[in-house]
Amino acid sequence: MIRRLLPALLLAAACKEPPKLEPTPKKTDEPARPVAESPFAAPPAASAPKAPPTTIVAQHVLIAYRGAKRAQPSVKRSKPEAKKLAEELRKALVGADGEAFTGMVKKHSDDPAAIERLGSTGKVKREDLDKAFADAAFALKENEVSQVVETPFGFHIIRRTQ
């Protein structure tokens, strides 16, 4: 204790007025009490927004029309007919489960490769897809069905699966 007070005593001897010493806080076994938050304190930081996915998995039904890119020779419908059919199929698919969507792919899709994969795109990156298709697919929540999406290949109905 004397060692702690010695600098203060030496200073007091050199000054006309002795310094005011503050008492040393007592050590206790009590846990420290939390300090009340100031009403001016910044609100707690909100959790950071979830980063958009870099890859997704989706299913799609393609309704092609005569003259669409890579359309099969068997496709005879016009562009307006293809759009009308796609809109009708979409109405039937909203709220449907994955099994119903897969059935619609088998029955109506004009993409032979998609039929073999049951409409699955597999795991894809945004840059692997046509821009319109990617924008729609990446905006979907899991198990959500898109609006009818037009690409150079025809009209798509997309369901995001992952």
pLDDT tens for 126-155 read: 999 999 999 999 999 999 999 999 999 999
CATH number of 55-160: 3.10.50.40
* Phi–psi pair at 89, nearest 5 degrees: -65, -40
Tokens representing 133 are 């298709």
pLDDT tens, residue by residue, 23-60: 666 666 666 665 555 555 565 556 667 777 889 999 99
Looking at every residue in the chain, the average pLDDT score rounds to: 82
> What dihedral angle (degrees, nearest 10) is formed by the CA atoms of 13, 18, 20, 21?
30
Q: Please check the confidence at residue 9 and state whether its pLDDT lies above 90.
A: no
Q: Looking at the predicted structure, is the pLDDT value of residue 88 above 90? A: yes
- Strands ordered across the beta sheet of 55-63: 120-125, 55-63, 154-160, 149-151
